[in-house]
Amino acid sequence: MKFKFSTKAIHGHGYSDYFGAFIPPIYFSAIFEQLIRETGEFRLSDRGFDLKYSREENPTVRILEKTFAPLEKASDCVAFNSGMAALSAALFATIKPGCRIIIPYEVYGTTLQLINDLKDFGINVVSVYPSTEDVLESINKNDVILVETITNPTLKVLDVKEIGRKAHEENAVLIVDNTFASPILYNTLDDGASIVVHSATKYIAGHNDVIAGLSATKERELLENIWNWRRKLSSILQPFEAYLILRGLKTLETRFKRESTSAKAIAEF
Ligand SMILES: Cc1ncc(COP(=O)(O)O)c(C=O)c1O
């Protein structure tokens, strides 16, 4: 059966336990028993990564990731303790020595600073005027491109599908920050993005009480790279925050519709 957005946001994790609880528990455990007693095998999470230490993998965070991935039409997702941490891991997972990053110069300020600081590590940063044409013109073979679906703070809208098509032709990697559009308006992985990133601090969590980030992809190799950077940078989301975001996700569609109606009324006024 094909479920609609809010049904997936509410019930997508499919969590069930012995008690029949509807709400998944918050696993505050920092450590987990490494070997399954009966079999002597390593304890793995459902995606096959070690489940031994909450800096690497945590069951509550995992429930959030499993709920969120289908909302972005991703096969999986990795949750972080901030949007900047999610972006950093996506970049570290894709850049190589001497590579070029294409970035429109109107994006979230800290993103721009992060990318500009990568110049000190031998990365060539090409910052371009924030228009589809200028981004398309600048793409070369094997580049990494980072764009926002709706730019912060100038609200420009680039044609992600066109950029994704060119990225594909040039074997370049397209990372899309979808924070402002949210998965309600746009699923960019269908249009050529390799990784979609969110500052979940905004629409996704929705109540201004969590700093969080999400990186989602359809590609297993990228997922493993991103996951490993999260482990090494120690930037995993904490379980209580994962619970709050799971709660916020349930009203994402309702909130988004209401916010859009209000914004339209203000604009018309
Ligand atoms: C578009 C965009 N991307 C990324 C970030 C960074 O997210 P965070 O503040 O959760 O680290 C922000 C924060 O304002 C943002 O607006």
pLDDT tens profile 192-202: 999 999 999 99
* C-beta separation of 238 from 247 below 8 A: no
User: CA 106, CA 173: separation in Å to the nearest integer?
Assistant: 20
Q: 67 CB under 6 A from ligand 1? A: no
Q: Is the pTM of this model over 0.95?
A: yes
Which residues make Cβ contacts (< 8 Å) with residue 163, sequence separation at least 6? Answer: 132, 135, 136, 139, 145, 147, 174, 192
Q: State how far Cα 64 lies from the chain centre.
A: 12
What kind and span of H or E run contains 80?
A: strand 76-80
User: What's the confidence (pLDDT) of residue 9?
Assistant: 96
Exposure string for 33-65, b = 16+ CB within 10 A, e = fewer: eeeeeeeeeeeebebebebbebebbbbbbbbbb
DSSP-assigned beta bridge partners for residue 53: 31
* Residue 95 one-letter amino acid: I
In this prediction, residue 159 has a pLDDT band, given cuts at 50, 70 and 90, of very high
Q: What is the mean pLDDT of residues 140-169?
A: 97
In the reported structure, the alpha carbon of residue 6 is separated from the centroid of ligand 1 by a whole-number distance in angstroms of: 24
Average pLDDT, the chain: 96
In the reported structure, the alpha carbon of residue 88 is separated from the centroid of ligand 1 by a whole-number distance in angstroms of: 12
* C-beta separation of 241 from 212 below 8 A: yes
Ligand 1 atom closest to the Cα of residue 85 is 11
User: What's the confidence (pLDDT) of residue 105?
Assistant: 96
In this prediction, residue 15 has a pLDDT band, given cuts at 50, 70 and 90, of confident
Q: 203 CB under 6 A from ligand 1? A: no
Q: Which of 7-21, 53-67, 179-193 has the lowest mean pLDDT?
A: 7-21
Report residue 71: phi and psi, to 5°: -65, -25
Domain 25-252, second-level architecture: 3-Layer(aba) Sandwich (3.40)
User: What's the confidence (pLDDT) of residue 16?
Assistant: 85
- Judged against a pLDDT cut of 90, whether residue 223 lies above it is answered with yes
User: Would the CA dihedral through 240, 245, 251, 254 be positive or negative?
Assistant: positive
Q: 82 CB under 6 A from ligand 1? A: yes
User: Which two three-digit tokens encode residue 118?
Assistant: 């990568």
Q: 201 CB under 6 A from ligand 1? A: yes
Q: 211 CB under 6 A from ligand 1? A: yes
Ligand 1 atom closest to the Cα of residue 86 is 11
What is residue 178's three-state secondary structure?
A: coil
Which residues make Cβ contacts (< 8 Å) with residue 122, sequence separation at least 6? Answer: 97, 98
Q: 182 CB under 6 A from ligand 1? A: no
In this prediction, residue 90 has a pLDDT band, given cuts at 50, 70 and 90, of very high
